[in-house]
């Protein structure tokens, strides 16, 4: 099935109304953030969540190439935060019992 083209008029300040069918389909609500990026065909408008997922996918690919698991990355972050807390505030990051 061919994609149905939706048209919108560009207003005075560059504003465009995204057709309701597309807003519903992609979960774009009032106050939501969309990303604009250049594409070979023109301008691509994506919900922020799509942009974030793409970034996370790219991070995952880099970690995989380096042989690092998500668990290892999280643990490394905990260790670094603990070091910063100790250096900056003189506190132990571990809870004392």
Q: What share of the chain is helix, strand, coil (3-state, %, to 5)?
A: 45, 10, 40
Q: How far is CA 20 from the centre of its chain?
A: 23
pTM (two decimals)? 0.49
Residue 17 has pLDDT above 90, yes or no: yes
For the chain, domain boundaries: 12-66, 67-97
- Return d(Cα 87, Cα 97) in angstroms, integer: 22
pLDDT, tens only, 69-93 = 878 888 888 888 888 888 888 887 6
pLDDT at 2: 58
pLDDT at 95: 53
Mean pLDDT calculated for residue range 32-43: 88
pLDDT at 61: 83
Confidence of residue 11 (pLDDT cuts 50, 70, 90): very high
Residue 96 has pLDDT above 80, yes or no: no
- What is the residue whose two structure tokens read 């991070």? 59
- Percent of the chain at pLDDT > 70 equals 88
Highest mean pLDDT among 51-55, 59-63, 64-68, 71-75: 64-68
């Amino acid at each position: 099935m061919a994609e149905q083209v939706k048209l919108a008029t560009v207003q005075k300040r560059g504003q465009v109304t995204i057709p309701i069918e597309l807003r519903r389909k992609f979960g774009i609500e009032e106050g939501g953030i969309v990303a604009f990026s250049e594409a070979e065909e023109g301008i691509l408008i994506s919900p922020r969540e799509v942009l974030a997922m793409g970034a996370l996918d790219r991070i995952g690919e880099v970690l995989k190439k380096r042989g690092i698991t998500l668990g290892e990355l999280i643990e490394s972050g905990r260790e670094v935060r603990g070091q910063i807390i100790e250096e900056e505030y003189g506190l132990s990051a571990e809870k004392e019992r």
